[in-house]
Every structure is written in structure tokens, then in C-alpha cells.
Amino acid sequence: MTAVKKIPKDDVVIEGLTGDAAIAHALKQCDVDVLAAYPITPQTIIVEDFQKFAADGEVKTKVIPVESEHSAMSACVGASAAGARVATATASAGLALMWEILYCAASMRMPIVLTIANRALSAPINIHNDHSDSYGARDSGFIQIYTQSCQEAYDTTIMAFKIAEDHDVLLPIMVCIDGFILSHNVERVEMLPDDAVADFLGIREPVQPLDPNNPITMGPLALTDYYFEFKEQQDRAIKNVPDIFKRVEAEFEKMTGRSYGMFETHKTEDADIIILTHSTAGGTAKVVADTLREQGEKVGVVRLRMFRPFPSEEIAEVVKNAKAVAVFEKCLSFGGAGNPLAMELRTALYHLAERPMVTDFVIGLGGRDVPPTTFVEGYEKTKEYLKKGEAPSYETLGVRK
Amino acid sequence: MSEKFDEIPMAGNIIEPGNAIEYKTGGWRAERPIHIAEKCLWVKNGTCGLCWIYCPDNAIRLIEKDGKYIHEFDYDYCKGCKICYTECPTDAIVMESE
């Protein structure tokens, strides 16, 4: 591998791109061998743009237009098993239809990059953003990274291959953007030269590929006698992710000057109340925090990026001295002890002798707008609950009730 | 079967081909096929062989040795599926409870 060098400014191409287009460009530069996908809003442009690259001969990729998402992920598993660099994209119902094969991809240790434009699940049918789709897949064994900007989506997609294909990891990875809010909004994106991405990623080196000259069997039966041991392997593999992730980001930073971390902290050091959220809502939260700071409020933001594996210890370290953490999340876990993000945080904090209060606000389901006032409302409620010394396990904000 | 998680191939991959022979499935059998040599066409004149053709587990051996025809079951792999018993045209195979 060649040493990573800082890319000169003149070699960087700057374009206005939607989140989807930014990801399509990243996939093009990552020299993907196989892309199998089925179109679904709001992910469609990723594959649409990529198909154009393929039709115009700009990529050597074998594009497989399959008949369903179940087949898309199945084709990806097959191609990845043969040693190819593989990507696909989906959202909402498409991800739901992939479900069975998501587990196969992770268990068979296939480093597939799956980009997701987060969208609500039916019914009623809804094409707009929330995180019910990928939160549902949290136990599938995929790595999950949520991004806030088109630039971050582009950068993360490139890094995703290097993380997934690392021999200490070998797991599939989801790169998530907010449906429409990011997937269809045009932002300034700095694109690396093709050869810089090629040098950064190199060619995938499969560990045990399918090879007619050296036949092996993949995904066979394992019952009571061996299954558990394979799950132990998988569990250890995902625990390797933070180290590999940091190494890959450090290398990427040398090249671009950009890195993002497993989560971003914003004015958290002396904060009494810390807002925890992710994706595009993180941007709104930071603006709200800045405004509240001007009014003398001691508030900060943790914008999560990596939901799987969840960086429990690191987040606990950042928020442990706050009086409260206000979680804002776009998912309801019906009948659960809490909703997915708050549940993770509460578990991460449980071992502390003195824990901050955790309030949980469910926001933005089905693309319901989350204006700054929603964050202010949650913040004010959290202050009230701190005074009272108790808070409800969660509540919905921004719904007519 | 005593191997730990780090002593077995990744993800359950079977990295050597042709190892199904190590997995003896005879224990699945509820009924055992018994061969009656006097009725068997293979033993009589080296013909038929339908049981050998139909056996899904290669658990029947038809042997020709010194001009004699010998019929054997491989009980390590015979699952007792009764296909040979069903196909035999001369009822030279009967099933007995294990």
C-alpha cells in the first residue's frame, strides 16, 4: 500500500450534489465490481446515477438489476463470496424485504456496503424520513453509520469499504442518509481524484473466496454443536470495528483533512444538558444549542454516527458529568422499555454510580418536520423534569395530541 | 466437536471438499433394510441393480468377485428411507424395526 498523501486543493473537484448523487459518485470511485439493486424511493438516484455510469462505460461494474431486494442482497452475498467488492442501496420496505439475507450477509462475513436513504415503514405508506427501517436491522450484524451531510455521506461511503473489508472485521456495513432531507438536497461536495480513492482502498483481498480450483462450502448447516461458536466469532469481529474505524479515519484525514469520529461532540464540555441525536437532526440540534448558549443556557450536543457497534464507553465518558441527556430519535419501539437510541444510552450509563437523567423524545416520524422549536421544547421539558427529579420514560413531540 | 470458536473456520465455511463421508447418518434410521439373497436378481445373475441406482445415499454396494455377485448395505450411511425396498421388483429387500 502506498503512503497516504494530502490531496492538493487543485486536484479536488467541487460539485453541487444531492446525498444520493454524492454516494453514487463515491461508489463509482470505489471501483465496485458488482452492484445488485432494486429501485426504491428515496434511494433511487443512487442506483439510477450508477446505472448511467455503467451504461456510459465509466465503471467496469457488473450491474445486476434484480426483481426484488431479497434477490439484491442475495446476489450481493454471492458476488462477495466470490471475492468481489460489492455494494447495493435501499430504503424502508426494501430493507424490510432484504431482512433474511441481511443476517446471511453478516453471518457469512461478507463486507458488502449497503447505502440506505432512511425512510418510514408502512403502513400507512410513507416515503419520508425516519429511522424505523435501519433501527429495525440493528441486530442483523451490520455495522451502521449515520451521516449528516452530503460530504459526510460521500466520505463515509469510501471509508466504509476499507472498514468492512479489513480482515479483522469482514462484516457488511450500512451507510445511512436521511431520506429526502439529505438524499434529495443539493450541497457542496468536495470529490477526491479517482486515483486517490483507488490508492486509499486498494483492491479487496478476500480471505476465503469461492474458487473452482479450491472448492469450499459457505453457509452450510450448523446446529446445536457449532452454531454458537460462529456467533462468538461474529461478536468478536464487530468489537474490532472501533479500532479499525479509527485507523481508517486517521488515514482518510491525512488525505483530506476531514474526519468525523464515532460521534461528534458540540459544546459538551461544561454542558448541564446534552442533546443526543443523529443524522440531519444533528445539524438542527447544534444550531439550537448555539442559540441557547447565547441566552446563557449550558447545553451541548452529541451527534451519534456509529449506532452499531454502539460506542457505549466513549459516550458515557462524554455525558457522565451532565445533569441530563435529552435523546431525540426518529423511531418508536412499540411496547418497549424505551426507544432504540435511549435504550442504548440508558444501558451505556447504567454502571455509573451517578448517572445523568435520560429523557427521550420521539420526533419526526414519517418525515414530520423537526424545526428548532421541537428541540427547544424537549430541552425545556428536560429542565422541568430535572427540577421535579423525575421524567417519563419517553414522550412524542411534534404530533397533534 | 470440542473445538473452541477460534479453532474452527470462519462463518462455518467447510474448507475441504468431499468431507460428507465423515458425517455418518446411519443413526437416523428407524427401520433397517434386510437383504434376501435367494430372491435378488443381482445375486442370481448380475442384473437389475435398481436398489443401487435409486439409493440416494450411495449406501448399497453391488460387488462382483470371482464370478460371484454380492449385495451389501452400508449401514453407516443408510437412513432407512425405504426407496430400495419400494423399488425392488422381486421383494428381495424387507424392512425391520431398529
| Domain boundaries along the sequence of chain A | 9-256, 265-396
The domain in which residue B77 lies consists of 5-97
Do the domains A9-256 and A265-396 sit in the same CATH topology, yes or no?
A: yes
Q: Count CB neighbours of A143 within 10 A.
A: 26
DSSP state of A141: S
Question: Which burial class, exposed, middle or buried, applies to B80 when counting CB atoms under 10 A from its CB (0-12, 13-18, 19+)?
Answer: buried
Question: Chain A: nearest CA to B47, how far in angstroms?
Answer: 37
The complex scores an ipTM of 0.88
Closest A-chain CA to B6: A233
**Distance (Å, whole) CA B80 – CA B26:** 8
Chain-chain contact of B11 with A219 (C-beta, under 8 angstroms):
yes
> From the list B8, B15, B17, which residue is nearest A229 (CB)?
B8
Write the secondary structure of A167-197 as one string of H (helix), E (strand) and C (coil). CCCCCCEEEEEECCCCCCCCEEEEECCHHHH
Per-residue pLDDT tens, chain A, 401 aa: give them: 456 889 999 999 999 999 999 999 999 999 999 999 999 999 999 999 999 999 999 999 999 999 999 999 999 999 999 999 999 999 999 999 999 999 999 999 999 999 999 999 999 999 999 999 999 999 999 999 999 999 999 999 999 999 999 999 999 999 999 999 999 999 999 999 999 999 999 999 999 999 999 999 999 999 999 999 999 999 999 999 999 999 999 999 999 999 999 999 999 999 999 999 999 999 999 999 999 999 999 999 999 999 999 999 999 999 999 999 999 999 999 999 999 999 999 999 999 999 999 999 999 999 999 999 999 999 999 999 999 999 999 999 999 99
> From the list B4, B10, B12, which residue is nearest A220 (CB)?
B12
Question: Chain B: nearest CA to A162, how far in angstroms?
Answer: 20
Grid coordinates representing B35? 437383504
Which residue, chain included where needed, has cell 488525505?
A: A255
Count of A-B CB contacts under 8 Å: 49
Which residue, chain included where needed, has cell 435501519?
A: A134
The answer to whether A35 and A87 are in contact (CB under 8 A) is yes
Chain-chain contact of B15 with A230 (C-beta, under 8 angstroms):
no
Give the CATH number, domain containing residue B46.
3.30.70.20
Q: Best of B10, B15, B16, B21 to disrupt the A interface by mutation (most A CBs within 10 Å)?
A: B10
**Residue environment code for A181-203, b if the CB has 16+ CB neighbours within 10 A, otherwise e:** bbbbbebebbbbeeebbebbbee
Q: Is CATH 3.40.50.620 correct for A9-256? A: no
Class at the top of the CATH hierarchy for domain A265-396 = alpha beta
Those residues with Cβ within 8 angstroms of residue A288's Cβ, 6 or more apart along the chain or in another chain: A275, A299, A372, A375, A376, A379
B14 in A contact zone (CB under 8 Å): yes
Sheet strands side by side (includes A86-90): A62-65, A34-37, A86-90, A113-118, A173-178, A143-146, A306-308
**φ, ψ dihedrals at A52, nearest 5°:** -65, -45
Per CB-CB distance under 8 Å, the chain A contacts of B17 are 215-217
Chain-chain contact of A220 with B14 (C-beta, under 8 angstroms):
yes
Q: How many domains does chain B have?
A: 1
Grid coordinates representing A108? 457469512
Question: What are A's interface residues with B at a Cβ cutoff of 8 A?
Answer: 107-109, 170, 207-208, 215-220, 222, 225-227, 229-230, 232-234, 236
Closest B-chain CA to A168: B10
Those residues with Cβ within 8 angstroms of residue A239's Cβ, 6 or more apart along the chain or in another chain: A309
If we measure between CA atoms, which residue out of A141, A133, A194, A199 comes closest to residue A170? A141
Closest B-chain CA to A222: B12
Q: Count CB neighbours of A139 within 10 A.
A: 11
Beta-bridge partners for B72: B61
B8 in A contact zone (CB under 8 Å): yes
What is the β-pairing status of strands B60-65 and B68-73? Answer: antiparallel
Beta-bridge partners for B71: B62
